[in-house]
Amino acid sequence: AQSVTQLGSHVSVSEGALVLLRCNYSSSVPPYLFWYVQYPNQGLQLLLKYTTGATLVKGINGFEAEFKKSETSFHLTKPSAHMSDAAEYFCAVRNTGNQFYFGTGTSLTVIP
Amino acid sequence: DSGVTQTPKHLITATGQRVTLRCSPRSGDLSVYWYQQSLDQGLQFLIQYYNGEERAKGNILERFSAQQFPDLHSELNLSSLELGDSALYFCASSPSGMAEGGYTFGSGTRLTVV
């Protein structure tokens, strides 16, 4: 069975600091992996996705994530945090049966 | 604007009542997915429709039902409502029955049961 674990339900960083949001997954087959962002009172917006090919994936708003099969991880990073990055971030894995499994989310706070 | 439209944005109703949530998918998308988001359960997949047919079922209660109409909009019906049904209900869409590229989400309907 597939599952997603997001380490740290709350992460705080200073403006301009590195953002690192952790995601580990379990999957019996090569997964499709996604990061979504949810701003207050809004729906989830796709940040980036890994399907096949290059393991370092670049997304919108300067975010990127690296698929590491050996570590079953898909951590999300951004070199320099902006105030506008404050939101809830969700990691998700899709299996070959088109079932999506979402993590419980990480709330990112950016401190001025 | 994601292109996925959900109405209403907010709904307050009493226990035991029935409500209908509506979703119009992004233009050209054939699949509609319904999710429930609550603080204690996170994002839970409820059901998927593809081109009018039920494609996949998740943790959907028997009191809940959905359908997708010929114009591809979808409705989620929630009946005999309980306090625990209070949540955000999201609709998402994808071009085909297999969302390899992920979903496009609507902005949700916040249901409060009192």
- Per-residue pLDDT tens digits for A67-99: 998 999 999 999 999 999 999 999 999 877 777
Mutate to test the interface with B, among A4, A32, A44 (most CBs of B within 10 A): A44
Closest CA to B89 of B51, B50, B32: B32
Question: pLDDT tens across A13-23, in order?
Answer: 999 999 999 99
Check residue A96 and give its pLDDT.
73
Range of B49-63, B68-82, B89-103 with top mean pLDDT: B68-82
Check residue B50 and give its pLDDT.
95
- A1 pLDDT band, cuts 50/70/90, is low
The Cα–Cα gap between B110 and A110 comes to: 26
Residue A16 DSSP class = T
C-beta atoms of B102 and A34 within 8 A:
yes
Check residue A31 and give its pLDDT.
81
Nearest to B2 among A34, A43, A51 (CB): A43
Nearest to A104 among B42, B100, B105 (CB): B42
Peptide bond into A31 cis (omega under 30): no
Q: Identify the residue with better confidence: B46 or A42.
A: B46
Structure token digits, residue A71: 């570590």
Question: pLDDT tens across A34-59, in order?
Answer: 999 999 888 899 999 998 888 899 99
The Cα–Cα gap between A60 and A110 comes to: 18
